[in-house]
Chains A and B, each alone.
Chain A
Amino acid sequence: MKNLLILGATSGISQAYLNRVADRCEKIVLVARSAEKLQQLAEHASTISDASVTTLVFDLANAEEHGKLVSTVTETMGTIDCALVSYGQLTDQARCATDPAYAMEQFNLNGTSTVSLSLHLSNQLAKQGSGSLAVIGSVAGDRGRRSNYCYGAAKSAVESFLAGLRSDMQKHKVHVLTIKPGFVDTPMTSAFKKGALWASADKVASDIDRAITKKKSVLYTPWFWRYIMLIIKCIPEFIFKKLPL
């Protein structure tokens, strides 16, 4: 991979991925909404890598501007070899019930805006006839659960969209990867007590790196989540609806 674009560059998973691959890149473009954090990240990237590093401050929830964003990126780096989409927020499910406006704003951030961004990016990659689009969904997208179905539904939407997009992009030789992490120790989950099922951002990043290189379609990371979710998906609804999940 020569030219790497990361959207949501300041996320824990993005940073871990950047650490893994930076020294293989020629051009790196980092997009995030905080100029201050981007500056700190750019210093880091320029230290550990010889690549040219550019930062763009952008609120990714703002889908109307996605087209402009992607053309600015293309002007900056030419060909996009890999675009990693890794941003979002863990939705406060309890608040959704009492504050539907919040719920929709969250759905937009984790769902709709990610779909919009994926569309713009895949159009660009199709034009090139090459490249990988890697988007982070979640195991939460596999089945709506009482504790976080607003977040889960948004991830679900993204993943269904990507499944179709992947097939559609075959003719353009564009690779689309759906990444489904389980529990990852990042700022998003700093309030949670960590147990045996938790993985580090670095572990997830190394799985992502391998999946992109091998042009995999769907990545569960760590691997065992594929089987945990398989079981969860198999539970009949009449039982599932009673489970405190």
Chain B
Amino acid sequence: MNDSWGNICRPRQTQSNLNWRTDVLPVADKKLVVGNRRSYGDVCINDGGAIIDATGLNRFISFDRSTGIVRCEAGVTLWQVAKFAVPLGWFLPVTPGTGFVTVAGAVANDVHGKNHHVAGSFGCFVKKLQLRRSNGDELVCSETENTELFAATIGGLGLTGFISWVEFALKPIQHSMMAVDSVSYNSYEEFLALSSESEKTHEYCVSWIDCLDKSGRGVFFRGKHAEEGGLDADLEAAKRSVPALVGAGFPLVNQLSVYLFNATYMRAHAGNRQYTETIAKFFYPLDSLLNWNRIYGRKGFYQFQCVVPLENAEVLKEVFACISAANQGSFLSVLKTMGSIASPALLSFCRPGVTLAIDFPNRGKKTMQLLSTLEDLVMHAGGAIYPAKDATMSAATFEKSFPKLAEYIQYVDPAFTSSFWQRVNAK
């Protein structure tokens, strides 16, 4: 298994597993509990410390079929929840672009999905969680008990202690297929217009952009749960895997392959198309290709995700120009607007604005320079960078991105740390 999804870091860390939620936490003064390590950078890495893998905690605890409130262990994946709940008429209230993330991972990064504009982030739906601290405390945290720790743990980057279970609210659905509408566009302005129009009519909105195109062409996808078909439709798509051999060798991502892929993709999605597809295909298009991160080869890759306020949305055009000039982008990148619904999290990345996520094959110094330029552009525009995707932001950027940082720090468990934390809390 990779230490994190981007496969950039080569940490020296000890590894152990938790298999039962009553297991004792290993005694270590620098520990970090992790989930499925789908974070791209170093929030799930603990160089010089102990990594405690909680994916063995994959059991449900209870489900109320009338209210849709589910309680499950930390390591249950969102896909596990979807597979269980959809046939019963319930779906995840918020889901990121992969179903392989764990429930605790979703809490700790306060993840967002294609419905952020109407739903907010994952943390908005968390009712309760149990936090086990290194001093032996086992605390149930919610909006009414241990409220400060509750707010610090959602979006808390795994540093407030070990989350052993989470209780959250699912949303009711009548049909399991997705009705989708795709619209191609030729400029960033068109994207903004499509977003503001579609958000009024569609629960799920997201867009792919061609990062090699200076004007910002792309394809906008807007979807809803279908209005027919019932709940029995197939959820799953067949899975294929990128062989380990690819990961060990040269990256398959280069200027030519990116150019060809993006051009083909744009052509395939020209104009306006309407269709229905499965939940797996709509929400998790990449999950059917297991280990796709191996296409970046042994050196791995970075992902850069930022959010900028709507009034400074123009800055993303400068970002595109920089990427295009540096000729460094990868396959399709993701663009989406976020709404104003806030979760209880002290450190949530989610805030109103436009968010861009883009992959960069690791080309050493050149890539670091580009990332740092992009970081500056975003920070000048009053934006923020997403810790779940980050491996490079400075302590100053982190502090500026998260205004409630000082309040949060009080709740960090003294025996917990991460490589990310070592970097951004370097004082």
User: How many pairs of residues, A versus B, come closer than 8 Å at their CB atoms?
Assistant: 32
Q: Shortest distance in angstroms between A33's beta carbon and chain B's nearest beta carbon?
A: 13
A40 to B56, Cβ gap below 8 A? no
Q: Residues 22-45 of chain B: 1 if any A CB is under 8 Å from the residue's CB, otherwise 0?
A: 100000000000000000000000
A43 touches B60 (CB 8 A): yes
Q: For residue A237, give the distance in angstroms from its CB to the closest CB of chain B.
A: 34
Given contacts A48-B84, A187-B56, A196-B244, A40 and B63 within 8 Å (CB-CB): no
Q: Does B62 belong to the interface (CB within 8 Å)?
A: yes
Please, what's the 1-or-0 string for A32-53, where 1 marks a CB less than 8 Å from any CB in chain B? Answer: 0000110011011001100000
Alpha-carbon distance A40/B84, docked complex (angstroms): 18
Q: Are the C-beta atoms of B60 and A47 separated by less than 8 Å?
A: yes
| B59 closest partner in A (C-beta) | A44
B22 to chain A, nearest CB (A): 6
Q: Which residues of B sit under 8 angstroms from A44, Cβ to Cβ?
A: 59-61
Q: How far does the alpha carbon of A187 sit from the alpha carbon of B63 in the complex, in Å?
A: 27
Contact of A40 with B62 in the complex, beta carbons under 8 Å: no
Choose from A12, A37, A47, A187 the contact partner of B62 (Cβ within 8 Å): A47
CA of A243 to CA of B423 in the docked complex: distance in angstroms?
48
Interface residue count for A (Cβ, 8 Å)? 14
A98 in the interface (beta carbon within 8 A): no
Q: CB within 8 A of B20: which of A37, A47, A190?
A: A37
Given contacts A36-B22, A40-B22, A47 and B63 within 8 Å (CB-CB)? yes
B425 at the interface (CB under 8 A from A): no
Partner of A36, one of B16, B20, B63: B20
Report the Cα distance A43→B72, complex, angstroms.
Answer: 10
Residue-wise interface mask of A (45-77) relative to B, using a CB-CB cutoff of 8 A (1 in contact, 0 not): 001100000000000000000000000000000
Q: Which of A171-190 contact B (CB under 8 A)?
A: 187, 190
Please tell me which one of the listed residues A37, A187, A194 contacts residue B17 in the complex, with CB atoms under 8 A apart. Answer: A187
Q: Does B19 contact A (CB under 8 A)?
A: yes
A43 near B59: Cβ-Cβ < 8 Å: yes
Q: Which partner residue on chain B sits nearest A190 by CB separation?
A: B17
A194 to B1, CA, bound (A): 9
B337 shortest CB reach to chain A, Å = 36
Residue from A48, A187, A194 within 8 A of B19 (CB atoms): A187
Measured CA separation A44–B81 after assembly (Å): 12
**Once the chains are docked, how many angstroms separate the CA of A40 from the CA of B22?**
9
Contact A40 B244 (CB under 8 A): no
* B1 / chain A contacts, CB cutoff of 8 Å: 194
Residue on B nearest A44 in the bound complex, by CB: B59
Chain B 111-139 interface 0/1 with A at a Cβ cutoff of 8 Å (1 = within): 00000000000000000000000000000
The complex places the Cα of A15 from the Cα of B22 at a distance, in Å, of 17
Q: Which residues of A contact B22 (CB under 8 A)?
A: 36-37, 40
Question: CA separation between A209 and B121, bound complex, in Å?
Answer: 38
Interface residues of A in 71-116 (CB under 8 A from B): none
B294 within 8 A of A: no
**CB neighbours of B59 from chain A (8 A):** 15, 40-41, 43-44
A43 contacts which of B16, B19, B56, B62 (Cβ < 8 Å)? B62
Is B222 positioned at the interface, with any CB of A under 8 Å from its CB?
A: no
CB of B21 within 8 Å of the partner chain: yes
Q: How far is the CB of B87 from chain A (nearest CB, A)?
A: 9
What's the least CB distance linking A10 to chain B, in Å?
8
- Given A36-B22, A40-B22, A196-B244, is A48 in contact with B17 using a C-beta cutoff of 8 Å? no
By beta carbon, the residue of chain A nearest B60 is A47
A15 to B80, CA, bound (A): 14
Closest to A34 in B: B20
Q: Write the nearest CB–CB distance from A149 to chain B, whole angstroms.
A: 28
Whether B56 contacts A47 by the Cβ 8 Å rule is no
Give Cα distance in the complex from A125 to B63, angstroms: 35
Write out the residue numbers on chain B whose beta carbons fall within 8 Å of the beta carbon of A40. Answer: 20-22, 59, 61
Specify which chain B residues have a CB less than 8 angstroms from the CB of A41 in the assembled complex.
Answer: 59
The 6 closest A-B pairs by CB, nearest first: A44-B59, A47-B60, A44-B60, A47-B63, A43-B61, A187-B19
A-B contact pairs, 25 of them (CB 8 A): A12-B19, A15-B59, A36-B20, A36-B22, A37-B20, A37-B22, A40-B20, A40-B22, A40-B59, A40-B61, A43-B60, A43-B61, A43-B62, A44-B60, A47-B60, A47-B61, A47-B62, A47-B63, A48-B60, A48-B84, A187-B17, A187-B56, A190-B16, A190-B17, A194-B1
Given contacts A43-B60, A44-B61, A196-B244, 9 further A-B contacts (CB under 8 A): A12-B19, A15-B59, A36-B22, A37-B20, A40-B21, A44-B59, A47-B63, A187-B56, A194-B1
